[in-house]
Structure 1
Amino acid sequence: MNVHFIAIGGSAMHNLAIALHNKGYNVTGSDDVIFEPSKSRLKTKGLLPSTFGWFTEKITPNLDAIVLGMHAKANNPELLKAQELGLKIYSYPEFLYEQSKHKTRVVIGGSHGKTTITSMILHVMHYHDRDVDYMVGAQLEGFDVMVKLTEDNDFIVLEGDEYLSSPIDRRPKFHLYKPNIALLSGIAWDHINVFPTYENYLEQFSIFVNSIVSGGSINYNEEDTEVKRIVEASKNTIRKLPYKTPEYTVENGQTLLETSEGDLPIEVFGKHNLNNLAGAKWICQHMGIDEDDFYEAISTFKGASKRLEKIAESNNSVAFKDFAHSPSKVKATTNAVKEQYANRTVVACLELHTYSSLNVEFLKEYKGALNAADVAVVFYSPHAVEIKKLDAISHEQIANAFQRDDLIIYTNPDDFKAFLFSQNFDNKALLLMSSGNYGGLDFGEVKELIR
């Protein structure tokens, strides 16, 4: 099968391209810019375009499929040529469904927690040598790629993102997978550039629940009010199975999960991660893993990349970086670190980097998000606000949004770095939350602070 990728360099796209290459497909692709690690990984497989740019001569009638990435625009010359030739054009999720329509599709949805839950499930399967197909949004320890597709595996585990499918398909990705087994972890308004109202955002999750195949099942976090309401209101003929945070304790910086066999030390921590673990256990049981085997495997799970990832530790100090940027994720992550290190000073630094977080109207959603931190810092770049063509944000608006009198605010990367490197981190826990890099912060240098 001949498949061409338009915008092959994206995080998800290059992983799918590699998965198809590994499956024996003939894969080609184009992109106007490709960053690391995508660039090296494509090069290793012989899939890196020889020249960056868009080339209509690559689009020929012998192509069986075009996979269109979100990075491409609707007027992309290769896309226009493909449309002119009447070629079959798939969005990323459409193509994943096409590859898995004869498998049992397990889809993990939610505003937060889906990458971690998917990662937990895959870790358990890998630990017990159960081979499954998958697509996950983070690099996992022990896994070469973030997408795996085979002809033989019965199950495919898919991280169900609610963002749009492609420039010409404005449906959320997770509407297209038609799960047999689903999970819904939590709902907190996000992606306001696409879903401008909270009600519109909620509607996407109702559609997801109703997309589960008849006779299928959904496990849902009953502690989330919106999740509970949406799942229980659905008229879809599916099994509805609630889960909640299990009992646990924290002793001397170690989280112990209560099980029928006694307290189990685990690597991950925080109420939100224990809640994620409960959801992952349910799904693994659907996939044939009994409870004892799940606990044995999950005790060795260290977390997904960039999700409360420990980057440095000494006898009395520790540093984490986390992809958290939405209000609910920031609050859950900050609370988790403070609970785990109750006797240390928690320094929480948040970069406002996404379209939503830099929106004046959305800022009020951050109220109380950093309250658990002993020292709370917010960094944002006025230049990033300009690039996104948003209204300018003032220090006062940030302070009013978080409603914390001692909030420290920086707009200059050098000033933020100077603050960070002036701190004494003895008996402290540093938490860096961002989907960016604080205007060029070298995390390698940050590690040197923790000694």
Structure 2
Amino acid sequence: MRIHFIAIGGSAMHNLALALHAKGYEITGSDDVIFEPSKSRLEAKGLLPTNVGWFPEKITNDLDAIILGMHAKPDNPELLKAQEIGITIYSYPEFLYEQSKYKTRVVIGGSHGKTTITSMILHVLKYHEIEVDYMVGAQLEGFDTMVHLTEDNDFIILEGDEYLSSPIDRRPKFHLYKPNIALLSGIAWDHINVFPTYENYVEQFQIFVDSITKGGSINYNEEDAEVARVVEASENPIRKIGYRTPEYIVENGQTLLLTPDGYMPIEIFGKHNLNNLAGAKWICQHIGVDEEDFYEAIATFSGASKRLEKIAEHEMTVVYKDFAHSPSKVKATTAAVKEQYTNRTVFACLELHTYSSLNAEFLKEYKGALDAADKAVVFYSPHAVQIKQLDAVSEAQIAEAFQRDDLVIYTNPDAFKEYLFSQNLENTALLLMSSGNYGGLDFDEFQQHIH
């Protein structure tokens, strides 16, 4: 097949392009900007566009299909040409469904935890040499790409994102996969630029549960009241299996998980991660991995990329970087580090970087999110607020939102960096939470500073 990607440089898009190239498809693509690592990875396979920009002349009748990325606009010249001459246009999730409609589709959904759960499942299956197709939202250690597609594998594991499918398909991605087996980890309002009310957001998960194929199954986090309500209210004729956080203890900075054979040391930590583990165990069992084999494999799982990733450790200082930015993730991640390092000062630095987190109305959702930290700093860029065309957010509004008297707030990247580098980090667990980089913080430089 000949497939053309409009906006090939995206994290998800370029991985799908690489996966289809590996499958023997003829791939072309365009984009107006391509960053690393997408650029090098596409170049290595001969898929990097010769010139950046949009070229309608690339869109010809001998293409079998177009895959349209979210980065493109509805008036993209290549898209308009494809529509004009009648080429089949797929969104990213639509095409994944086309590739997997004769497989058993396992879809991991939820506002938080889905990348970690999907990563855990893939780690266990790889450990036991069980071949599956997959799509996951992070680059995993030991896996070449974030997407893997074959003709032969029976199962496909899909991370089910609730964000929109494409510029011309405003449905959430996870509505398109029609899972045979599903998991729902948690519901906490996010993406307010798309889902302006909490009720509207929750409705997307109701649609997801109802989209599970009849006779299929869902594993759900029964400790999340909203998840339990949504799943149990569904009239879809499916099996509904709840899961809970397993028993565990923390001794001398080491988390021990209770298994049928007693307590077992594991590399991950935090109540939310143990809850994710319980969900992953159920899915692996559906695929055919027994409990004992699951525990053997999960003992060596060290975490998904950018999720509580240890970036530096020196004597009495440990530094973690985490992608957390929504209120529920910030709260869970901060609490996890405090539980793991009870005898250290937990120093949490949060960057408000996303559209939701910089919205004055949404800010109040952060109340108490940093309470588990001994010291807390919030950084945000007024420039980022302007770029996103949002109403200005004041330091007073942020202080009011978090409800923490000793909260330190920075808006200047250089001042924040100076503050961070001046801190005494002895006997400290430092947690850097952001989907950005604090206005240009060089993490490698900071690692060198720690050492």
Matched, 1:64 2:64: yes
Q: Return the offset for 1:151.
A: 0.2
Partner of 2:53: 53
* Alignment TM-score, normalising by the size of structure 1: 1.00
Partners of 1:425 and 1:449 within 8 A in 2: no
Find out whether 1:27 has 2:55 as its counterpart: no
The answer to whether the Cα contact below 8 Å between 1:164 and 1:172 also exists between their aligned partners in 2 is yes
Paired amino acid for 2:222: E
After the TM superposition, which segments of 4 or more aligned residues of structure 1 sit over 6 Å from their partners? none
Alignment partners' CA distance in 2, 1:144 and 1:347: 34
Corresponding residue number in structure 2 for 1:188: 188
SS at match of 2:182: strand
Pairs within 5 Å for 1:107-186? 107-186=107-186
Question: Aligned partners of 1:44 and 1:89: how far apart in 2?
Answer: 26
Match of 1:360 in 2: 360
CA–CA distance in 2 between the matches of 1:449 and 1:61?
56
**Which amino acid is 2:433 matched to?**
M
Hey, what's the Cα distance between the residues in 2 that align with 1:162 and 1:449?
39
Local SS of the residue matching 2:450 = coil
The residue aligned with 2:330 is 330
What is the CA–CA distance in structure 2 between the aligned matches of 1:152 and 1:254, rounded to whole Å?
41
Q: Cα offset for 1:266?
A: 0.4
- Give the TM-score normalised by structure 2: 1.00
Paired residue secondary structure (1:448): helix
Letter in 2 for 1:107: V
Aligned mates of 1:322, 1:129 — CA distance in 2: 29
Q: CA deviation at 1:449?
A: 3.5
Q: Counterparts in 2 of 1:243-322, with a 5 A limit?
A: 243-322=243-322
Per the TM alignment, residue 246 of structure 1 is displaced from its structure 2 partner at its CA by 0.2
Could you report, residue by residue, the CA deviation over 1:324-376 in whole angstroms, capped at 9, with x for unpaired residues?
Answer: 00000000000000000010001100000000000000000000000000000
1:382 aligns with 2:382: yes
Looking at structure 1, the residues matched to 424 and 288 of structure 2 have their Cα atoms a distance apart, in angstroms, of 49
- In the TM superposition, residue 316 of structure 1 has moved relative to its aligned partner by 1.3
Distance 2:66 2:303 in 1: 34
Structure 2 CA distance, aligned partners of 1:17 and 1:312?
Answer: 34
Q: CA deviation at 1:412?
A: 0.2
The CA distance in 2 between the partners of 1:449 and 1:108, in whole Å, is 39
| Mapped partners of 2:316, 2:248: distance in 1 | 23
Distance between the aligned counterparts of 1:295 and 1:65, measured in 2? 43
Cα deviations by residue, 1:301-337 (Å, 9 ceiling, x for unpaired) = 0000000000011221100000000000000000000
State the shift of 1:450 in Å. Answer: 2.9
Q: Given residue 214 of structure 1, which amino acid in structure 2 is its aligned partner?
A: K
Equivalent position amino acid for 2:372 in 1? A
Report the Cα distance in structure 1 between the residues aligned to 2:446 and 2:326, rounded to whole angstroms. Answer: 23
| Partner amino acid, structure 2, of 1:411 | T
Q: CA deviation at 1:425?
A: 1.0
Runs (5+) with no aligned partner, structure 1: none
The SS at the match of 1:297 is helix
Matches of 2:163 and 2:198, distance apart in 1: 15
Rounded Cα–Cα distance in structure 1 between residues aligned with 2:181 and 2:450: 43
Indicate the residue corresponding to 2:410 in structure 1.
410
Equivalent residues, number: 451
Calculate percent identity across the aligned residue pairs. 81
Instruction: Report what 1:7 is aligned to.
Output: 7
Instruction: Give the aligned CA root-mean-square deviation in angstroms.
Output: 0.5
